[in-house]
Amino acid sequence: MKKPIKRILLGLGILIALVVILFIWYGIKATSEMKKMTPAETGQLLDSVYTIKDSFVNLYFIKSGKEYIAIDGGNSIDGVKEGLVKLQIFPDNVVAVLLTHTDGDHMKAISLFPKASIYISKQEEQMINGKKSRFVIFKNTLLGRPYNVLDDNQIISLSNLKIQGILVPGHTPGSMSYLINNKYLFTGDALSLQDGKIGGFNKFFNMDTRTAFESMGKLTNLQNVECIFTAHHGFTNDYKSAVKDWGN
């Protein structure tokens, strides 16, 4: 075999080995960081708010009459199915799924809700149309069904609920929090909660941590908000106490 060919093959072998090592390291690190997460247990949190703990992540349901609005779509079909049975929520009664972003652990089970309209922020669309990679060459998966896009601070009405989308880029470019009826704030991965206080989300998973911290400021001075619901760190029913020390 000629020396140039040997050198090319050796170079390719080294490159492949480095890529394998990178992804093994990423998998180990990601698993370690996920173990630090503290999602709420499956159950009814408030009169109209329910949650499913699907492994290391929560998805939420807001009840209005006989209908439900879901915040995010879970990490696994089986995990969400089990939670729905426990909560006695019939999937066909879920009329909308509001995705805080399109990472896999937030949208794996949306197929369980065939009658639901899907919503994402306009800026998150780049994560599923091939324009933006989530990690190196890996991209988020297409939703596989029609979806609606929301602008920053756009307000819509679903099932007699007032829903305001608040763009909070950083974790992903189009991460969006949702304010329901001016009092329930669902943050996705925009922030964490520890001892009743908000903090930054895990830097390892953020695409742009500096922007994520800047985005948190948009969530700390909202009028009439009572509760914060996070995707990986549970919830608090004392919004004012949770945010009052942020930035000090």
Which pLDDT tens digit goes with each residue over 73-114? 999 999 999 999 999 999 999 999 999 999 999 999 999 999
Return the beta strands (E) in 32-160 as ranges: 43-44, 49-54, 57-64, 67-71, 94-98, 117-121, 148-150, 155-158
**Is it the case that residue 18 has pLDDT exceeding 90?**
no
| Cβ pair 108, 74 in contact under 8 A | yes
Is domain 40-243 in CATH 3.60.15.10, yes or no? Answer: yes
Tell me which amino acid residue 199 is: G
**Between vectors from CA 60 to CA 131 and to CA 144, what angle results, nearest 5°?**
35
pLDDT at 5: 72
**In Å, what is the CA distance from 8 to each residue of 3, 16, 21, 48, 228?**
9, 12, 20, 62, 55
CA distance 197 to 36: 16
- Give tens-digit pLDDT for 156-165: 999 999 999 9
Instruction: Mention every residue, 6+ apart, whose C-beta is less than 8 A from residue 222.
Output: 179, 185, 239
Please report the pLDDT score of residue 141 as a whole number.
Answer: 85
Q: Given pLDDT bands bounded at 50, 70 and 90, which one contains residue 209?
A: very high
pLDDT of residue 30: 72
Nearest-angstrom CA–CA distance, 173 and 152: 12
CA distances from 189 to 2, 16, 77, 158, 193 (A): 53, 32, 20, 23, 11
Q: What is the pLDDT of residue 9?
A: 65
Query: What mean pLDDT comes out for the span 168-185?
Result: 98
What does the pLDDT look like over 36-77, one tens digit per residue? 999 999 999 999 999 999 999 999 999 999 999 999 999 999
